[in-house]
A and B are shown apart, each in its own frame.
Chain A
Amino acid sequence: MADEKQKAGSAEDSGGAAGKVTRRSFLSHLGAAGVAATASPLLAAAPAAAAMPEASEAASDAKIVGSVPVSLRVNGKVLKLQVDPRATLLDTLRESAGLTGTKKGCDHGQCGACTVHVNGRRVNSCLSFAVMHEGDEITTIEGIGQPGNLHPMQAAFVEHDGYQCGYCTSGQIMSAVALLKEPCGPTDADVKELMSGNICRCGAYPNIVAAVQQVRLRS
């Protein structure tokens, strides 16, 4: 039963990648120039998901007392995990699903390092429990694009040096990609306001804003 569900999920997802709606609306938002560039992350989502370790042996091997099953649809793939009911979505991604691209900077919803997309919208994954996301479409930085097949936003961050240490970067990019679909005014000040939930202690803010604006301008 559970297996069937997983298969069904995978089959469905292989055509759509994580957040079907997300990407379709994103593509239409980008226009012709962006489409060529955006096509790659769509394709990249699958290999990226395939390259992920299966639920890390570490956490799922031995029986965890009081754990509950949860199946998450992450980057277009169904992950069936046994998790502590107190486990946040963030810790589940990092410690159980082996998706360590999403970072923990505070665990309190104060820094934005843990930003992921849930059903196409950005959320702080440290602020919700994994068990609340049964069936939700979750996209992490790994599902946005991979080297050789970067999303235009990722490529813009590289081009504009929109990072230093790189620790806030996954969260910045997840916020920036979500921002493309949000009602955001045209100016740098508008972008700064909407990106202010993502702290960059290295202070790469001018470059991050330049990267975001480049992608918005080309869309």
Chain B
Amino acid sequence: MASIEEVVPASIIGTSLARVDGPLKVSGGAMYSSDHNFPGMLYAVPVCSTIAKGTITSLDSSAAEAMPGVQAVYHRKNIGQLFRAAPPVGFSGLIDERRPPFEDDVIRYYGQYVAVVVAQTFEQAMAASAAVKVSYAGEKPDVSTTLSSDEKPKVDTTRGDADGAFASAAVKVDETYVTPVETHNPIELHASVAVWDGKGFTLYETSQAVGNHREVMAQMLGVPLENVRVISRFLGSGFGGKLWPWPHCLLAAAASRNLNRPVKLVVSRKMMFQNVGHRPLTQQRIRLGATADGMLTSLQHDSLNHTSILDDYGEGCGEATGYLYSTANLRVTSGLVRRNVGNPTAMRGPGAVPGLYALESAMDELAIKLKMDPVELRLKNEPKLDESLGIPFSSRHLKECLTVGAEKFGWSQRKAGVGAMQRDGLTLGWGVGVCSWIAARIGCEATVELKADGTARVACGTQDIGTGTYTILAQIVAEKAGIPIEKVEVVLGDTKLPAGPISGGSWVTSSVIPAVADATQKAMQTVLMAAVQGKDARFAGKKPEDLVFSGGRVQVKGGSAETSVAYAEVLRAANLGGVSGTGKSEGTFGVPPKVSQHSFGAQFVEVTWQPATARLRVNRVVTVIDAGRVLNTRAGRNQIEGAVMMGVGMAMLEHTTYDQRNGAPINSNLADYVVATHADTPQIDVTFLDYPDLSLNEYGARGIGEIGLAGIAAAITGAVYHATGVRVRELPVRIEDLLGGTARA
């Protein structure tokens, strides 16, 4: 009989754990979509339009078709039928660019796919793609970055009399903030490896949502749902850009079907700027009215964002505006403006991230007008409840985020006034910004098997996009069944598995907990039944309710631990290979909320400014996050640090620039679209308040993938103002913006 020492500590929830998939990731063994190779596989390379607006007048593929290794060149006339996806229902049927590729000859954005070359090797396909001759009747595209609404903006939320209160406010801020087009640029290029078997497809996709991907592909390819399987075992991240299918997925699948061969299509880095979404340009007017002692009396947030010619993508910049502060009078509106650009899509923290840059910048400007400490201003306007919905918060500790952050940062040493702080010949700038992000759950199913070899297996059709989902699932099973985490095998990223949540919205963790816990409990219950049934059963003659499953072992309730039996032994005695349980949990969407579920945080930033050389650096960041309970603090801290790094990029470096003449994103590579590197890394201090939010799940976890990117840009531009006297209202901060600043003297 196995010894009792095998029993693991009561809880591994909330501890610092190495990831269970770590060894695969560090040794090249983790299989990403484009790592799949098959016998006879062909390579597809799309041909992109070289205009942003107009029509195709002719397409000559004869030269390309005659080139070595070329198997086919597909375009509108020969790709075969592709359909549009039906309107979405909930979280299924979602796709941003609803028009299937090659549907017509109209070009609506630069780089739109007009043909695809399929050849024996990647090199052959690349060469032939350049030989497809396409002529266009081009028109001048509209990629203007000045937005004015085509339609009447929609009112997202309103209360009181925002206009009247603003007009009579003692202190006012009325400014417009602009965030540029940002491109997700995960390091993994989007890719599809499509394998047609004569009847259906196995699709290896770079997907943050395999279930939705499958439904959309089945509809657009015109095959029954059961004939499509989508696999995404490891994802080289996506940041929202890989949530829904993009046109290249259809090209790969159609080519595979037409040629009856596996086809690999890897989107190039240049195409990543054209064909797979971006965070849209936003232009946001914020009007704040306050009393002389800093109470907000009016808040108006009117935002516009660009979208593509055919599809509506609303960024939702006012996402957090309605509930963040207390004010009796508020109005949030939003509108779309059409441009000749590829379709925008959700990028990490959609809405809240650009929205809080604007709102928190305006709050900083208000604090300066009031001659009030910006932390104090926020503390002063803390609401007692979610005033947009009139319901209490499930768990809101924003004040503590601010006070703890101020303490850790040393905020009390702050000297207000531009350029007032110096150190080692550098001018210091300090800034603060608040962040918030929605917490929610989406429906989830999971299966847990407890096996006779003492291991467990948990399967769920969600994805690990780098956030640590493999480890979280292993933790839940290990905790519930009381077995070591190394004994838990986790299988994700496959539509053959029970349907799991999309990897978006920072909702995976909160969504999987109830389903996986439920599945584990059911499997444990079945072990107890096996323990009493049959004459060889270890607890023959007892009833399941007489027994208890704990620490991976079964024993009689109230009996001594020495008489306990490992569950593996129970199963072996019953000649069972394993028993499984399926768990299910419901989502929170579509149900009127009783509490307002959001995460909060405070970002404190120090920049250093060297006026003589115009050198600006983000030097130090202190972030305090209130995101419920954090299940794995090691991966959790990493999420926030990574978001801060992306925030440094957002504030200081990133912007996609479209050539006004031809509509091309002109900095479409990683040398010209600059993201933060090792050398840009500031000192980052992350604190989790760790108050469990039990309104979402039994562990009180809310999810932390996105919140860390909100608020950071405003904290940086606030710090830049403090150092230089220049308020940057259009991101990113450019050195040339600062050269005219007062600090230059």
Report which A residues bind B (CB closer than 8 A): 56-59, 61-62, 64-66, 84, 86-87, 91, 94-95, 98-108, 110-111, 113, 140-142, 144-148, 150, 154-155, 157-159, 161, 163-170, 173, 191-193, 195-196, 198-209
Contact = CB atoms under 8 A, between A and B. Distances in A.
29 contacts: A58-B37, A65-B68, A84-B123, A99-B28, A100-B28, A100-B32, A104-B266, A105-B187, A105-B188, A110-B269, A140-B28, A141-B26, A150-B27, A154-B26, A157-B25, A157-B26, A158-B22, A158-B26, A161-B22, A161-B634, A161-B638, A164-B466, A166-B234, A193-B679, A201-B237, A203-B641, A205-B645, A205-B678, A209-B678
Given A91-B122, A98-B37, A164-B467, A199 B670 contact: yes
Contact of A104 (B34, B466, B641): B34
Given A103-B188, A154-B26, A201-B239, 6 more contacts: A108-B669, A167-B32, A202-B642, A205-B641, A206-B641, A208-B678
A199 B187 contact: yes
A158 B23 contact: yes
Given A58-B38, A203-B644, A163 B26 contact: yes
A208 B676 CA distance: 14
A202 B237 contact: yes
Interface string B250-273: 000000000000100010110000
B638 A107 contact: no
**Chain B residues touching A, majority SS:** loop
Nearest to B38: A58
Nearest to A192: B678
A133 B372 CA distance: 65
B26 to A, nearest CB: 4
A84 B128 CA distance: 14
Contacts of B677: 196, 199, 205
Contacts of A56: 37, 39
A168 B642 CA distance: 14
Most buried by B among A66, A196, A199: A199
Nearest to B31: A100
Interface in B17-31: 18-19, 21-31
Given A65-B69, A84-B124, A105-B187, A163 B25 contact: yes
B37 A195 contact: no
Nearest to B237: A165
B186 A209 contact: no
A102 B28 contact: yes
Interface string B116-132: 00001111101100000
A108 B269 contact: yes
A161 B635 contact: yes
Interface in B98-148: 120-124, 126-127
A110 B120 CA distance: 27
B27 A145 contact: yes
A100 B31 CA distance: 8
Contact of A201 (B186, B234, B467): B186
A62 B642 contact: no
Contacts of A62: 40, 120
Nearest to B639: A164
Contacts of B671: 108, 110
Contact of B188 (A65, A91, A159, A165): A165
